[in-house]
Amino acid sequence: MSFTGSRTFVGFGFGAIQAGLFLYEAYQSGAFGSVVVAEVMPDMVHTLRQAGGRFGVNIAHADRIERAEIGPVTLENPAVEIDRERLIAAIAAADEVATAVPSVAYYTTDSPGSLHRLLAAGLRRKAAEGGARCVIYTAENNNHAAEALEAAVLGEIPAEEQPAVRSHVRFLNTVVAKMSGVVADPHEIVERGLIALTPGSERTFLVEAFNRILISQVDFPEPFARGIAVFEEKPDLLPFEEAKLYGHNATHALLAYFAMQLGIEFISDLSAAPGMMDFARAAFIHESGMPLMEKYGGLDGLFTKRGYGAYVEDLLVRMTNPYLRDTAERVGRDPARKLGWDDRLIGVMRLALAHDVRPMRYALGAAAAVAALEKLEGGAELIGEALRNRLLTLWGASAPAGEEREKVLKLVGAARVYLRSWAIAGYPPLETWYMAETP
**Which H or E run includes 151?**
helix 145-154
What angle (nearest 5°) sits at the alpha carbon of residue 364, between those of residues 362 and 365? 60
| Nearest in space to 217 (alpha carbons), one of 171, 178, 168, 167 | 171
| pTM, rounded to two decimals | 0.93
Residue by residue, pLDDT tens for the chain (439 residues) are 678 889 999 999 999 999 999 999 999 999 999 999 999 999 999 999 999 999 999 999 999 999 999 999 999 999 999 999 999 999 999 999 999 999 999 999 999 999 999 999 999 999 999 999 999 999 998 889 999 999 999 999 999 999 999 999 999 999 999 999 999 999 999 999 999 999 999 999 999 999 999 999 999 999 999 999 999 999 999 999 999 999 999 999 999 999 999 999 999 999 999 999 999 999 999 999 999 999 999 999 999 999 999 999 999 999 999 999 899 999 999 999 999 999 999 999 999 999 999 999 999 999 999 999 999 998 888 999 999 999 999 999 999 999 999 999 999 999 999 999 999 999 999 999 999 999 8
Query: Residue 327: beta bridge partners?
Result: 266
CATH class of 7-235: alpha beta
The SS3 of residue 201 is coil
Q: For 297-357, where are the alpha helices, taking DSSP H only?
A: 305-319, 328-331, 335-338, 344-354
Q: Give every CB contact of residue 170 below 8 A, 6+ residues apart in sequence.
A: 133, 134, 135, 136, 216, 218, 219, 220, 224
- What is the CB neighbour count within 10 angstroms for residue 131? 18
CA 169 – CA 357 distance, rounded (Å): 42
CA of 246: how far to CAs of 8, 43, 181, 185, 250, in Å? 35, 37, 21, 32, 5
pLDDT tens digits, 43-69: 999 999 999 999 999 999 999 999 999
The SS3 of residue 99 is strand
Strand order in the sheet with 55-60: 65-70, 55-60, 204-208, 180-183
- Supply the CATH classification number for the domain 239-437: 1.10.1040.10
Report pLDDT for 439. Answer: 83
Are the folds of 7-235 and 239-437 the same? no
CA 139 – CA 135 distance, rounded (Å): 13
| Nearest in space to 1 (alpha carbons), one of 53, 37, 75, 38 | 53
Q: At what angle do helices 81-93 and 115-129 cross, to 10 degrees?
A: 50
pLDDT tens digits, 163-202: 999 999 999 999 999 999 999 999 999 999 999 999 999 9
| Nearest in space to 94 (alpha carbons), one of 161, 23, 169 | 169
- What is the CB neighbour count within 10 angstroms for residue 437? 12
Compute the mean pLDDT over every residue in the chain, rounded to the nearest whole number.
96
Report pLDDT for 4. Answer: 83
Instruction: Give the CA dihedral 222, 226, 230, 231, nearest 10 degrees.
Output: -70
The residue extents of the domains of the chain are 7-235, 239-437
What angle (nearest 5°) sits at the alpha carbon of residue 247, between those of residues 256 and 375? 25
Contact of 95 with 26, CB cutoff 8 Å: no
| Nearest in space to 102 (alpha carbons), one of 141, 154, 134, 58 | 141
Contact of 345 with 254, CB cutoff 8 Å: yes
